[in-house]
Amino acid sequence: LANPAAGTTEVLDGERTGGGAFVVDRARALDKLMKFMLPSPELFLLPLARVAAASGARTLSLRRDGVDLVVEFDGEPLPAAAVRDPFEAVTAETPDPRLRAWGLAVLTALRGTSRGVRLAGGRPGDLAGAWVRSPEKVDISQKGAEGGTSFRLVGPLWRMPSLAKLKAGLALRAPGF
């Protein structure tokens, strides 16, 4: 083959013997993304706000429930499959841009030490819930969020900013809410 950068212009004859594909180890890819995607775990709110905006949400609420942080929004519900497996769109192509941001929000939240993330959503008749402790540990339930999407960060063990600071930071980066 000709390689002008290396100074060779000789063309070698060859025969194609086959083609192929490679497989990415999903668990390792998710682990790397979780560790290096966003610098701080509380930044999970940014991709989550993108999901809400792309869903046409009129409201996005942040509230504390004990030590948990609960984020809820209305708008077009996420498919139940995205609640059951939030990481599918992170490692595969999807026509719905909300789904990759959804998975990245979960990964970023898991980056900080917490007991996990509870997700709920779906459409009426196809509601889903999931308890995500790591990219490899997702327990699925049939309990969904009627009329919206819910993201509960359960027992974060990292020092989370106050609710007022989280809301102010989100307002700067996602002024629609």
- The per-residue pLDDT for range 29-50, each reduced to its tens digit, is 777 776 776 667 778 888 999 9
The number of beta carbons lying within 10 Å of the beta carbon of residue 67 is 13
Q: What is the pLDDT at residue 3?
A: 58
Residues near 150 by Cβ (< 8 Å), separated by ≥ 6? 70, 71, 72, 118, 119, 120, 121
- pTM (2 d.p.): 0.73
Q: What is the mean pLDDT of residues 154-166?
A: 75
Report the percent of the chain where pLDDT is more than 90: 24
Q: Could you report the per-residue pLDDT of 74-102, keeping only the tens digit for each?
A: 999 888 899 999 988 887 777 888 999 99
Residue 34 has which token pair? 């979780």
